[in-house]
Structure formats: C-alpha cells, structure tokens
Amino acid sequence: MSRLTFLLIMIAVVIVIFAAMWIAWRARTRRDAQVATGSRVPEGALIAHFPKVFYISTTPVGDPLSRVAVPALRYRSYGEIDVREDGVTLQLRSEDAVHFDAEQLRGSGLAGRRAGKAVENDGLALMRWDSGEHELESAFRFDDSAQQRAFLSAIDRATELGAAIDAHPAPDMNRNSQEEGTR
C-alpha cells in the first residue's frame, strides 16, 4: 500500500468518525429539547449570589457520564447563579438565562466526576432538579470550598422553601371568584 493510499484511508476514517459524532450530538439535542426548566423568573428574596461559577454539565441522577443536552445547558461555560427563595437563575456566558422554580429543586450534593470533568472527591457541587419526566443533576465547580459550601446551603434552603410551597399551595383566586359568581 502506498503512502498516498494510506493517507486517503486515514482521512476517510477521520471524516466518518466526526460525522458520526455530529449525528449523535444532533440526535441527543433533539431528544432533550423538551426537557423543562423553570416557567418563570424567580423574583423572591435573594438567598445567595455567585458571580463566578464554572458550569460542567447536566446528567440524569445515577448516570453521571450521560450528558443531557438541555437548551442553554449543553456546553461547559463560566457564568453566575442567583439563588432566591422561589427558585434559581443560572446565566451562562453566550447563553440565555435558565430558571429553575423552587418546586423543581430536589436538593444538593457533591461529586468527583461528571460528563465533561473529573476532579478530586467532592470537588463538584450538584444541584438536583426535576424536569417533570426525569430527575437531573447540574454540576458546578467553584474556585474555593467556602463558595461551594455556601452554594450547597443556598440550594438546600431554596429546596426547603419549594417543598413548603408544594405542601401549602396558594389558593386559586379564579376558583373563588367563580364560586362567588354562581351564588
């Protein structure tokens, strides 16, 4: 086999590999396009603000190496997080803001590896949330452990408040006005 033939075969193999990767990523993006994040911008009292955080990936709970291609959460990026009493806002660079209602939050956690990053044990902070169909974990890396602990505490506080909202929903004002109109 000549060098030219070998080179052409290798180029063809590389092209096929990249095409397969592109097709697989497109399929994953279509699969995860309907994953629901929050329905409203959280406006409650600010629990904590984190101006510099490194977002790693979002994965299903129990499957840390299977990336979920949620719109605006597909790629690793720096950003900032606001944790409020009624939810969380994540603003990544070059992406639209993503909101999580407090009722969606399922707590926090620690991990050492996720799709896209492997660090020391408990080096990644996790925010667990419910998309309606799946429980997911979004992983973040902080510059220091104090920020990481503050983030975990803030997420747990917002989760508690969200559970309280679920347990005691606000009265439906439309229903009361309809009942009064029928009397």
Q: Are residues 117 and 77 in the same domain?
A: yes
What is the CATH number for 135? Answer: 2.30.29.30
Question: Same structural domain for residues 144 and 58?
Answer: yes
- Judged on CB neighbours under 10 Å (0-12, 13-18, 19+), 165 is middle
- Number of structural domains, the chain? 2
104's CB contacts (< 8 A; 6+ apart) are 37, 38, 87, 129, 130, 131, 162
* 41: in domain: no
pTM as predicted? 0.77
pLDDT of residue 173: 45
Same domain, 69 and 151: yes
Do both 147 and 69 map to the same domain? yes
Q: What is the pLDDT along the chain (183 residues), one digit of tens a residue?
A: 899 999 999 999 999 999 999 998 888 878 777 777 777 889 889 999 999 999 999 999 988 988 888 888 888 999 999 999 999 999 999 888 999 999 999 999 999 998 878 888 889 999 999 988 889 999 999 999 999 999 999 999 999 987 776 665 555 544 444 444 444
Do 81 and 151 lie in a common domain?
Answer: yes
Same structural domain, 25 and 110: no
Asked if 116 and 87 sit in the same domain, the reply is yes
Q: How far apart are CA 40 and CA 114, in angstroms?
A: 28
Write out the residue range of the structural domain in which residue 75 sits.
46-167
Q: Is 12 a member of any domain?
A: yes
